[in-house]
Amino acid sequence: MTRKLSEQELVRRENLQKIRDLGINPYPSELFDVNALASTIRSNFTEGSESYQNVKLSGRLMSKRIMGKASFAELQDSSGRIQLYVSRDDICPGENKDLYNQIFKKLLDLGDFIGVEGFAFFTQKGELSIHVKALRVLSKSLKPLPVVKTDADGNTFDAVSDAELRYRQRYVDLVVNPEVRDVFRQRTQMYSTMRDYLNAKGYLEVETPILQPLYGGAAARPFKTHHNTLDMTLYLRIANELYLKRLIVGGFDGVYEFSKDFRNEGMSRFHNPEFTQIELYVAYKDYEWMMNLVEEMVEKVALDIHGKTDIQVGENVIDFKRPWKRYTMYEAIEHFTGKDISGLDEDGVRAVAKELHVSVDQSMGRGKLIDEIFGEHCEAKLIQPTFITDYPIEMSPLAKKHRDKEGLVERFEAICNGKEICNAFSELNDPIDQRERFEAQLELGRRGDEEAMMLDEDFLRALEYGMPPTAGLGIGMDRLAMIMTNSESIQDVLFFPQMKAETK
């Protein structure tokens, strides 16, 4: 069924046809060779300067003030906005005045892409402008942009802030709220800093399968699909850990991957079913060494993005300067609840959980119960970057047993602004122990735990060939980006977050 067009859309289509009737292609193929950006001119042009006297800019037409034979307009390119001075006699030499009288004044709509050639100057009011000597239509916009209102000083007081519109139509959000682009530029800077840091240490960036016959490397519920040619069930990966460890078995000393992972779980301002993390595995290292690396690397991210280690995040100022505070898991629970659960069995931990009003069920083993207590009573209170170390073995089926503390593993998580941002182990490389841990996970699955891990025979076979002592790390890039860009929701740092189907 044909969509009913609004009155504004009908007018724009009429304008489109009128432009074509004047013999101008509103969607030309020819190259328009831009040689300057609005922000560059704004930063560098000074009164009396001889620079920027032959510039070519392109972008969206964002405002027009028609003033007879000469008018002012505003062009927005990828770097920002700049004023245009458009004179009929400059852009329409000779007798044909249609480009100005018809197209610029009447047929160009806000949001249209144009290209201009001209020179930079200051108006009598001191406003930096481009005196347009030539103008081209580059692309006609058929839908009107949402209106963003500003006061006389240019301050926005009616921004487009509806989350449904912004997330679903990110392309519109980026046009009418150009400051949103800075969030994604900072996110890209975060990736670049981490990549440069790890490459400088000689670690290899790799790619591993997204479609996997067995999902593993984390406790999560997967997305499932079917491969027709192979006639087999495949899963979208929930983590890339087990494949990266196979590469350590194969002889690499350090490998990492920025991986898209997928978990078929609930959604919130901290959770999206498709997310990005970096996983790093380094041979001959342990979790203490990895803690130092995380501190150093994340501190460098803050410095590269903000030029300082203390940054504003919501109502808090978070300081990433090393060293970070450390608690063991049991110490954190005792510190925030007053309960020492270190010597309790599953029934004892379940009783404490109920006493603390933590919701539990019979499918939860000791590890899951401890995780629930920590999540309910501790995690949200950890605002400054903090390492939680030495987890109970039941919580960590892929981590090595603690060298000194019975019943614990060598694992840490970094918590910041009340949420986990990374997880790391001294990796389990004993294939017999690993098989027993996988079998324990299978038992939890039989009890109804939908997030329990599967038993991966090929991974166990790889371990049987021998894996050196290894430190492993996973950092949630989306959550770290939320902190580094002071964003309230994970949807704010994803170009295209997952959303419900659009209703007509």
Based on the domain organization, do 215 and 77 belong to the same domain?
A: no
Nearest-angstrom CA–CA distance, 36 and 24 = 25
* pLDDT of amino acid 153: 62
Q: Domain holding 73: CATH number? A: 2.40.50.140
Report strand pairing: 70-77 vs 55-67.
antiparallel
Based on the domain organization, do 239 and 288 belong to the same domain?
A: yes
Based on the domain organization, do 92 and 220 belong to the same domain?
A: no
The burial of 252, by beta-carbon neighbours within 10 Å (0-12 exposed, 13-18 middle, 19 or more buried), is given as middle
Number of structural domains the chain divides into: 2
From the list 332, 483, 487, 358, the residue with the least C-alpha distance to 422 is 483
Q: In which residue are the tokens 């301002």 written?
A: 269
Based on the domain organization, do 97 and 188 belong to the same domain?
A: no
Distances (CA, A) of 135 to 56, 118, 391: 10, 9, 66
**In contact, 64 and 119? CB cutoff 8 Å:** no
* pLDDT of amino acid 85: 97
The three-state (H, E, C) secondary structure of 446-466, written as one string: HCCCCCCCCCCHHHHHHHHCC
Based on the domain organization, do 86 and 219 belong to the same domain?
A: no
Based on the domain organization, do 188 and 109 belong to the same domain?
A: no
Instruction: Kindly state whether residue 455 falls inside one of the protein's structural domains.
Output: yes
pLDDT in tens, the chain (504 residues): 578 899 999 999 999 999 999 999 999 999 999 999 999 999 999 988 889 999 999 999 999 999 989 999 999 999 999 999 999 989 987 667 788 889 999 999 999 999 999 999 999 999 999 999 999 999 999 999 987 666 556 555 446 778 888 999 999 999 999 999 999 999 999 999 999 999 999 999 999 999 999 998 888 899 999 999 999 999 999 999 999 999 999 999 999 999 999 999 888 888 999 999 999 999 999 999 999 999 999 999 999 999 999 999 999 999 999 999 999 999 999 999 999 999 899 999 999 999 999 998 888 888 889 999 999 999 999 999 999 999 988 888 888 999 999 989 999 999 999 999 999 999 999 999 999 888 888 887 787 777 777 889 999 999 999 999 999 999 999 999 999 999 999 999 999 999 888 876
Instruction: Kindly state whether residue 153 falls inside one of the protein's structural domains.
Output: no
Nearest-angstrom CA–CA distance, 445 and 122 = 71
Q: Which residues constitute the domain of residue 74?
A: 7-145
> What predicted TM-score, i.e. pTM, was given to this entire model?
0.89
* pLDDT of amino acid 396: 82
* pLDDT of amino acid 28: 96
* pLDDT of amino acid 440: 84
Based on the domain organization, do 62 and 194 belong to the same domain?
A: no
Instruction: Kindly state whether residue 379 falls inside one of the protein's structural domains.
Output: no
Based on the domain organization, do 239 and 133 belong to the same domain?
A: no
